[in-house]
Amino acid sequence: MSEAILLQAKPLTQENFAAFGDVIEAGMSEPIMINEGTTERFHALSEVQLGSAEDKAIISIFRAQPRSFPMSIQMLERHPLGSQSFHPLSQEPYLVLVADAVEQPSAEHLHLFLATAQQGVNYHKGTWHHPLLALNAVSDFLVVDRAGKGHNCEEITLNQDIEIPLDYLIQGEGSST
Amino acid sequence: MSEAILLQAKPLTQENFAAFGDVIEAGMSEPIMINEGTTERFHALSEVQLGSAEDKAIISIFRAQPRSFPMSIQMLERHPLGSQSFHPLSQEPYLVLVADAVEQPSAEHLHLFLATAQQGVNYHKGTWHHPLLALNAVSDFLVVDRAGKGHNCEEITLNQDIEIPLDYLIQGEGSST
For residue range A58-94, what is the model confidence (pLDDT) as tens digits? 999 999 999 999 999 999 999 999 999 999 999 999 9
d(CA A8, CA A165): 7
pLDDT(B1) > 80: no
Task: Name the pairing type of β-strands B71-78 and B10-11.
Answer: unpaired
Among candidate residues A175, A94, A88, the one with its CA nearest the CA of residue A130: A94
Q: Per-residue pLDDT averaged across B19-38, rounded?
A: 94
Closest approach of B174 to chain A, Cα-based (Å): 33
Cβ atoms of residues B156 and B109 within 8 Å: no
pLDDT(A177) > 50: no
Q: Per-residue pLDDT averaged across A136-158, rounded?
A: 97
Q: Is A89 left (phi over 0), alpha (psi -120 to 50) or beta?
A: alpha
A interface with B, Cβ–Cβ < 8 A, is 24-26, 31, 34-36, 38-48, 50, 53, 56-65, 67, 85, 87, 89, 91, 118, 120, 122, 131-132, 140, 142-144, 147
Confidence bin at B28 (pLDDT 50/70/90) = confident
pLDDT(A170) > 70: yes
DSSP H or E segment with residue B23: strand B21-24
Q: Per-residue pLDDT averaged across B43-49, rounded?
A: 97
For B42, the closest chain A residue by CA position comes to: A61
DSSP tally for chain B: helices H, then strands E: 1, 15
Of B46, B61, B65, the CB nearest to A24: B61
The pLDDT of residue B173 is: 46
Q: Per-residue pLDDT averaged across B44-64, rounded?
A: 96
The backbone torsions φ and ψ at residue A14, rounded to the nearest 5 degrees and listed phi first, read -50, -45
pLDDT(B141) > 90: yes
For residue range B88-129, what is the model confidence (pLDDT) as tens digits? 999 999 999 999 999 999 999 999 999 999 999 999 999 999
Cβ atoms of residues B107 and B100 within 8 Å: no
Exposed / middle / buried, residue B5 (Cβ in 10 Å: 0-12, 13-18, 19+): middle
pLDDT(B177) > 90: no
Alpha-helical (H) ranges within chain B are 14-17
Q: Per-residue pLDDT averaged across A4-15, rounded?
A: 97
Global confidence as pTM: 0.94
Exposed / middle / buried, residue B72 (Cβ in 10 Å: 0-12, 13-18, 19+): exposed
For residue range A13-44, what is the model confidence (pLDDT) as tens digits? 999 999 999 999 998 889 999 998 999 999 99
